[in-house]
Structure formats: C-alpha cells, structure tokens
Amino acid sequence: MLWDARGEARRVPMTTLDALPYPIAIDTDISAALAQFVKSRGRRVVVLADRNVEGRAEALARAIGRKTPVLAVSLGERRKTLRTVEAVLNALAAAGADRETLVIGVGGGVAGDLFGFAAATYMRGVPFVNVATSLVAMVDASIGGKTGVDLGAGKNLAGAFRDPLAVFCDVGSLATLPEKHLREGLAELVKHGIIEGNEAFEALETLAPHPLRKWPWETVVADSLRIKAMFVAEDRLEAGAREILNLGHTVGHAIERVTNYRTSHGHAVSIGLRAAGLLALRTDRFSNEEHLRVLALLALLGLPLIAPTGDINALLAAMAHDKKARAGALRFVLPRTLGDVEYGVTVPARTVRAVLGRVRQAPGNAEFR
C-alpha cells in the first residue's frame, strides 16, 4: 500500500496525509514497492542497515538489484552518537556515494534518527528513504522529519529537521522484533488512541486481550501512524499543535531522566499517560470513567502504571529542564475526553506535586479524590 502525497491510499482512506510531502508505504513485505520507488528515481543507491536487521536489508537490496551495497552498522541507543555518524559518513564516502546517491536506512528508531541525520549532513544532504522495522519507528520515529543523535549532555540534542523522500513500514519485519521492543511501541499506540478518541481507542481495547503476535499489524500501524502524520502535517517544525503528541511525555521524560534511563521510554510514557489523566481529573477536565479505561488498557497491554521513583523534587527539576518547558511555567498536554486533548495547559504547582505523589502508588479509589 503506497500513499502518495495527495493521500491516495489504496486500503485506508488517508485524506489527512494530504499535507505530508512524502509518500508512506505500509505493507507486510515492502520489497516490491521499495524496488519500484527506487527504479523510478534512477539514482545510485546505498543501503545502511542496523546490524540486527542486516538479513532483511540484504533481501531489500536484492529486490532493488543493481548490486546495491549494504553497509551494516551496530547500533542501539548507546551507539546513537556523533562517533557512529562519523563512521557512517566515512563508510558512505568509501562506498563512493555522491550527491545523487539515494541512501536507504533500514532499522528501528535509532537507525532512522542516526542514518537520517548522516544523510542530512553527507555532502550537505543526500536524499534519504526510511525503512522502519520496529513498531516505534513505524508509528512514531519515521514520521515527522526529526533526525539526530544523543550527546553526553542528553538525548537527541544534536540533529536536524529533514524530511525523508519516502517512508516504508516493513510490517513483516515485526516478526523478528523482540517482544520487549514491540511492547515499547504500545504506549505510543495508546497515546495516539487517546488523541484520536473513540474508534481508535476502542480498536486497541478490542485487540489488547489477544497475543501481540496475532495483531493485524498492517492496520494497526496504518491507523496509528495516520494520527501522528495528521499533527506533523499541520505543524512540521513543532511550533504548536504538534505538541499534542507530547501527551504523557512531560512526566514520562522526567521519569526517564530521574531513573537514569533505567525506565524505558515506553514504560515511562505509560506512567506519564496515567499522570496526565490524573492532572486532567484534578483540574476537572477528564472523567473518572475515561481515566479508568485508559489505565485498564495500559495494564492489559502489560505496561506499568506506578512510577519507580517518589522523588518529587527531582521529577519537577527534570520537567523544568525538559526542552518543552517554556519560560519556567510547567505546561502539560491533558485529555478532556478521549478524542479531545489540549496542549499548553498550566497546572498549579501543588496539583502537580500531588499527582507525582499519587503515581508512586497503585491506582485505586484515591485516584479520584
């Protein structure tokens, strides 16, 4: 299924993708669509691959033909550094890549961010195609044009906004993605479900009791990605509405920082979604019933609801440090109802403190006081 820039999807109506300037393909096997796309470009091609999906990248290179070289790199969050970018740039030069060379990056979110950044800087920028092989990459990282790497001082601090030429979600490759990493993407699916509201949220409630490996991933990815794409299209440089996508992330990022990243991003966002629900409840935005539905869904998906730290001052300091905090005031993205989420909401400090204390405890009746 290939969506063009006018949103002409063959399987899913994609009117909201109209404003995204690049096509997105979502299929169990994207090799034919990728080969076709490359052919129509008529350029030299180099494939960059996360070593963990090297076999898949080799298969894609064979589908493209023309003796397309595959350069495999060991990645992982710890290698998402400028040093790895330098190694990739040198490898591109050694492979004879020039300004016209199309670079295809294959892998998860780390690969997309790092290879995308390398492509944005190689010879001041060469065309890049993102082949997403993890759930996080498919529903989140590959869309939106943010590329970059981590610095010692923090995550994603060096980078560039650069749209890919196209995005391919290689849904079949999820079969080899370890369950732990598949689960990482679930919190973002729930986040998108809360933003989109009823149908999207209910679809997740229906799927949640079923084993992850049996989910209809092609549809799930398409539906979830559409929600991110809609906000990105509206706000490409993250000046406003795109902040909605930060739902659950203000507290989530703080938990990641305070626990020194021992809490994974997906887990932190799950707890952050509970915190956002609590903040919304206590500022009379959200209903008990819907808050409980969100908690029940997160729990059913095996995601945590209890913060691993009760150090409220450290969490507040981390939130203030978050690049999304503007002019000192803590701003939150909070649900009013499933399908209606507000951004830029300021909440009284004592309410924030009370909620940070509450998420340290198991959910229960006190949730609604």
Residues with catalytic function: 124, 146, 188, 228, 238, 242, 246, 249, 253, 265
CB of 135 to ligand NAD, least distance (A): 7
Per-residue contact track with ligand NAD, 84 to 113, x per CB under 6 A?
Answer: -----------------------xxxxx-x
136 binds ligand NAD (CB under 6 A): yes
Segment (H or E) for 234: helix 217-234
Which among 347, 4, 13, 323 is positioned nearest to 167, based on CA atoms? 4
309 binds ligand NAD (CB under 6 A): no
CB of 112 to ligand NAD, least distance (A): 6
C-beta closer to ligand NAD: residue 24 or 352 = 24
Report d(CA 318, CA 172) in Å as an integer.
38
154 binds ligand NAD (CB under 6 A): no
68 binds ligand NAD (CB under 6 A): no
Report d(CA 21, CA 163) in Å as an integer.
8
CB of 67 to ligand NAD, least distance (A): 24
Report d(CA 345, CA 281) in Å as an integer.
13
48 binds ligand NAD (CB under 6 A): no
264 binds ligand NAD (CB under 6 A): no
CB of 64 to ligand NAD, least distance (A): 19
77 binds ligand NAD (CB under 6 A): yes
Restricted to residues 221-260, the positions that interact with ligand NAD (CB under 6 A) are none
Binding residue (CB under 6 A) for ligand NAD from 7, 23, 105, 144: 144
Report d(CA 84, CA 95) in Å as an integer.
16
- Three-state secondary-structure class, residue 147: strand
Angle, CA 335 vertex, CA 332 and CA 336 arms, to 5°: 125
C-beta closer to ligand NAD: residue 4 or 77 = 77
Binding residue (CB under 6 A) for ligand NAD from 73, 166, 177, 278: 177
173 binds ligand NAD (CB under 6 A): yes
CA distances from 360 to 255, 314, 315, 350, 354 (A): 11, 14, 12, 16, 10
Binding residue (CB under 6 A) for ligand NAD from 27, 163, 184, 290: 184
Asked whether 272 and 280 are in contact (CB, 8 A), the reply is no
Asked whether 250 and 272 are in contact (CB, 8 A), the reply is yes
Residue nearest to ligand NAD (CB): 109
Asked whether 250 and 324 are in contact (CB, 8 A), the reply is yes
C-beta closer to ligand NAD: residue 245 or 294 = 245
263 binds ligand NAD (CB under 6 A): no
List the structure tokens of 62. 């064979």
Residue with tokens 């990493």: 181
Of 5-13, 47-55, 304-312, 358-366, which part binds ligand NAD (CB under 6 A)?
Answer: 47-55
Asked whether 244 and 333 are in contact (CB, 8 A), the reply is yes
Contacts of 325 (CB under 8 A, 6+ apart): 319, 331
Q: Sort strands 24-27 and 2-3 into parallel, antiparallel or unpaired.
A: antiparallel
What are the residues binding ligand NAD (CB under 6 A)? 50, 52-53, 75-77, 80, 107-111, 113, 133-134, 136-137, 140-141, 144, 146, 156, 173, 176-177, 181, 184
